Chain A
């Protein structure tokens, strides 16, 4: 019930903002009231790429598009969506490029294989080195 009221309030609030020449999205520069939800949103926003900027997350950008995305993220979090679901929705809309947390796919698996390889390599190197030395 509370959520529905919140969403209604947002919808009603929107025309009021729209009277400015360039209305920023309602939650672009506004935090959620519930600090726990805001923290969740913040954590997610820090890992989403601002598509109009160069190497910035949407949490770190003044670009209008980043503001719109922040607003989307906050509203969806307020509506009770899980961060993972929001990320998936954004990836579906904008492609993998939007998420700074790469998924394991047929294209990105080397990103996860390499650390595994490095761990093995480090273990083998150290083992060989000291197995010989202790003889």
Chain B
């Protein structure tokens, strides 16, 4: 019964999305204006019904209802509750249901609260949102029904990939999806503004919180995903330019550019066409990412769906949405004027420069990710990996970092370098000092070298916008900018340091042996068998000493899951302020020896601290903007009230 109830809710939500699209479109014409009143309520109910369907699926997973095919395929009665929950969205159908649910809720929320835009623009926006949703509803109902029954019910579920049975991964996909779907709202706003030719500051202000929110979730999602890959895959790597990683990076790059250009549009009424374009591109990248991951076109660790039918469906959705949006953009491009002008040396000028750089990096990542597929279609297999992406993106990343240090110090519209030159002396000197120091002391590669030097300069330069301000009276949005830019420096430092100074030790150790890895002395004490709820493992008991410090216990495991049968390594980490010791227990090497892999990674944690700082900066800016939006909203309400009273 339960599953049928969920399916019915899903069909109803889809029908309401259709209604929302039709009513919203007709209401824009002169004859259909009577329909305008129903669009917002329909959007709210549509979101609520999608939520009902999703909750039903979660309940089915909690109960491990094995008469539902999706549950039988992806769950197991012996799995801990949290992973039963995560199982609901840790598969293709469930994750697409999560997608439409978040999209429906976001649309409903916009319909409820957004009152600043002209009503026709809102109607067009909600119609656009319904159009995109409808495609995904069709996808779910036609080719990926999550509520399909299994007759007869399975005796036991097939379990969840052990690699995915991890807290980090339970919440990683939903975080990214919140980001992707937040960008769908920005996309709808862009469509709405294009249709009604209302591309201006009001549009940017309405769109900005959604871009901000989406960007925060994407930042957290990518940071968490990178940390997950780092500790779960057991080889100490944190980013591999894997197509699936790139799929999440591309929307982030576009959203970063969009975020900045929307700010310019909101406060300076400049960059109109560019902002709309980025709004379209950002969500397009989300869909491209979803297509890459969901279609199974690239088979990699994360891509657990292999089914060409679905791929074709998503590809069609992609073509319709992106093609439609670009056509609309082309039709309206003549009427969307550029907006206010500004000089090269100005805050806007710096932002434009960095937007172009971000877009170029996006172009490289997109092309490098797709090219192996193109080559395969032409009959040759090539690999494109870090040796390509690192230097190619650095071509644009390095100038961007330099402008990032200068830009926030410049005034709007027109400024001169002479005015900010003095302030930038300190960071510039720091870059030179670090560069000279590194050249003398250490032998590091070109990119880590540049990374370390630039990170030092940027760390100081990013704080300069606070100079001369009363810190307690500095707006939250400025704090947000400073924190996020400082986060870039922190993350960059972590990446460069990990790449330049990591120490790796592979040994076949006997019990009692001590191994030196960088400043650590690691002693293998014992190997014990241990058991968990759905696995057994061999666990190494090791003690690690940093220099002459007190010994710390380290317990890496080699785990054997039985449902489905698979072996994984559970790395063990010792975190210090200045880096991490990373220990992995490998196979038995014969003669009572065990393979141990040890890494000392100086300041590696700064990569993720930096990522979190960037997200925190976004959050501060979002809070600051929202607070002032609410104040303005309340003030406007009061003025309106007073007018009403005076009118009487």
Is A31's beta carbon under 8 Å from chain B? yes
Of A55, A97, A115, A125, which is within 8 A of B381 by CB?
A: A97
Of the candidate stretches B102-110, B464-472, B586-594, the one touching chain A is B586-594
Q: Report if A29-B595 is in contact (Cβ < 8 Å); known contacts: A24-B587, A42-B504, A59-B235.
A: yes
In chain A, positions 38-66 with a C-beta closer than 8 Å to chain B are 42, 46-47, 49, 54-57, 59-62
Q: Report if A54-B382 is in contact (Cβ < 8 Å); known contacts: A111-B367, A133-B343.
A: no
A100–B391 alpha-carbon span in the complex (Å) = 13
Of A46, A96, A108, A119, which is within 8 A of B386 by CB?
A: A46
A133 to B, closest residue via Cβ: B341
A46 to B, closest residue via Cβ: B386
Q: How large is the interface on B (under 10, 10 to 19, 20 to 34, 35 or more residues)?
A: 35 or more
Q: Report if A30-B381 is in contact (Cβ < 8 Å); known contacts: A114-B367, A118-B363.
A: no
Is B402's beta carbon under 8 Å from chain A? no
Number of residue pairs across A and B with beta carbons under 8 Å?
118
Is A33's beta carbon under 8 Å from chain B? no
Is B342's beta carbon under 8 Å from chain A? yes
* Chain B contacts for A6, CB-based, 8 A: none
A111–B372 alpha-carbon span in the complex (Å) = 10
A27 to B, closest residue via Cβ: B506
A42–B502 alpha-carbon span in the complex (Å) = 12
* Chain B contacts for A111, CB-based, 8 A: 367-368, 371, 384, 388
A133–B541 alpha-carbon span in the complex (Å) = 67
* Chain A contacts for B322, CB-based, 8 A: none
Tell me if A126 and B352 are in contact (CB < 8 A): yes
A59 to B, closest residue via Cβ: B235
* Further contacts, 4 of them, CB under 8 A, given A57-B240, A96-B381, A110-B371: A56-B301, A57-B385, A61-B235, A107-B382
Tell me if B364 and A98 are in contact (CB < 8 A): no
* Chain A contacts for B368, CB-based, 8 A: 111
Of B298, B382, B506, B508, which is within 8 A of A108 by CB?
A: B382
Is A20's beta carbon under 8 Å from chain B? yes
Minimum Cβ distance to chain B for residue A60 (Å): 4
* Chain A contacts for B382, CB-based, 8 A: 96-97, 102, 107-108
Tell me if B360 and A30 are in contact (CB < 8 A): no
Tell me if A126 and B371 are in contact (CB < 8 A): no
Tell me if A31 and B506 are in contact (CB < 8 A): yes
Tell me if A62 and B386 are in contact (CB < 8 A): no
A54–B240 alpha-carbon span in the complex (Å) = 12
A114–B357 alpha-carbon span in the complex (Å) = 14
Is A101's beta carbon under 8 Å from chain B? yes
* Chain A contacts for B586, CB-based, 8 A: 29, 62
15 contacts between A and B (CB under 8 A): A24-B589, A47-B387, A49-B383, A59-B235, A60-B237, A100-B383, A100-B386, A101-B387, A102-B384, A107-B375, A107-B378, A108-B375, A122-B357, A133-B342, A134-B344
Q: Report if A107-B380 is in contact (Cβ < 8 Å); known contacts: A47-B385, A119-B360.
A: yes
* Chain B contacts for A126, CB-based, 8 A: 352-353, 356
Q: Report if A49-B385 is in contact (Cβ < 8 Å); known contacts: A29-B586, A122-B360.
A: yes
Across the A-B interface, give the 10 residue pairs with the lowest CB-CB distance, nearest first.
A100-B385, A101-B387, A60-B235, A97-B381, A55-B300, A130-B344, A54-B300, A118-B360, A55-B242, A20-B590
B235 to A, closest residue via Cβ: A60
B376 to A, closest residue via Cβ: A97
A96–B343 alpha-carbon span in the complex (Å) = 47
Is A80's beta carbon under 8 Å from chain B? no
Tell me if B383 and A97 are in contact (CB < 8 A): yes
Of A57, A100, A129, A132, which is within 8 A of B352 by CB?
A: A129
Is A95's beta carbon under 8 Å from chain B? yes
A95–B240 alpha-carbon span in the complex (Å) = 21
Minimum Cβ distance to chain A for residue B356 (Å): 5
* Chain B contacts for A119, CB-based, 8 A: 360, 395
B237 to A, closest residue via Cβ: A60
